[in-house]
Structure 1
Amino acid sequence: MKILVFLGSVRTSTPPQPARVGERVARACVAQCGRDGHAVVLVDPLDYDLGAAFKPHFAYAKGRAPAPLEDLAGEIASADAYVMVSPEYNHSMSPALAHLLNHFGSSLFAFKPSAIVTYSAGQWGGVRAAVGMRAFLSELGCLPVSAMIHIPAAHTVFCADGRFSAEVDGTRWTSYMERTFSQLLWWAVAARRERDRSGVTGPSPAFLRDPSQRNAP
């Protein structure tokens, strides 16, 4: 399986301390998802210059999108599953993650599963952001699995490279995260098998040209 782990933060300064707590969480997800030999790619928004003006990938003529958008579109299309890592802003998902994902239509994500991972420096682990993320990811077509991961005081759970810190029980955390990622991989295998059998999207394709393709008569 090929899995994309989306880091939903572009913050590089303090506070909070340490900076880029989300990168720790995302690197931990990469390590956990790759334990059985799966190909895991970390998607960091800081690595993609999307320009100041918003124009989504699908709004460009074929082959005319800027290289960063084209490259990421290829990664999304070739993936079997997605892990979305987000902090919580005003009870909602990260604006950086929403901005990045909004550049791409559901035709790239459709008929593949996703997993929701939230974190915070406080006690709730970003759980309230996950509520809106379910609807957002469902609209993209990459339905989130039922199990989710919420990480309170994330800066104390992970080291900078994504390893568990000495302050926590890494075995228990691994078991907790594995519950979600095992669901993700089960659905990823099943979805890829069905895409191969039915011809990518089968009888209910994602809209490719205009949202009106989903309208009632």
Structure 2
Amino acid sequence: MRNLSLLLLWGCCGLCSSHFFSTESTTTDVNECEDTTICPSFAICTNTMHSYYCTCKQGFLPSNGLTQFRGPGVTCEDTDECSQNPQACGPSSICRNLPGRYKCSCLPGFSSPTGNDWTSVKLGRFSCKDVDECADIRICPEHATCNNRPGSYSCVCNQGFASSSGNTSFQGSGETCEDVDECARNSTLCGLNSICTNTLGGYHCSCLPGFFSPVVWTPDKPEDFRCT
């Protein structure tokens, strides 16, 4: 009787064990992202267990405002970084929007260490700095002074000289600073009984024979010179 009971118990265990292993479930997840059309253009598909979700690429925003989404009807729309405030490229620059990115260049008179036509997919940060045109000693003609200003510069003829165009300030080649003949412009510049002599960039006063001035003429105080 005991042997029969053991045999029955062994048989039951074998059936139970066989039933357990035969009913064990092996679930395989379906990768929805294998379907390249499941997410819209300019989106990335991420597979999850029994599901998936879409996220827009950098430079694009979902039309439904959700960071993660799935299902039809949602599109990834380009972000216009150039219309943002502050502007993406920074001061003194030109911003051009491109699909998913933007391009930066400096305004004339400014430069960037990264160079023009910098795009947002490149490393670093774009910035524009003023170019000191006056560092080039040949940018203004002889007898002129260069004045740098943000994004530009100007040339001004030194005292005693005038530009060939007649403009007080100017840029570019072709201009010259010519000596002004102060004596020809004003015959009484040195006063009575005097002689006016033009010099490069100025003039000199002296007295006629038989006259003298108690004060020696200097260009700093020409009014003190008097011939008696």
Q: Is the helix fraction higher in 1 or 2?
A: 1
TM-score of the two chains, using structure 2 as the length reference: 0.18
Larger radius of gyration: 2
More strand by share: 2
Q: Which has the higher contact order (CA 8 A, sep 6+)?
A: 1
TM-score by length of 1: 0.19
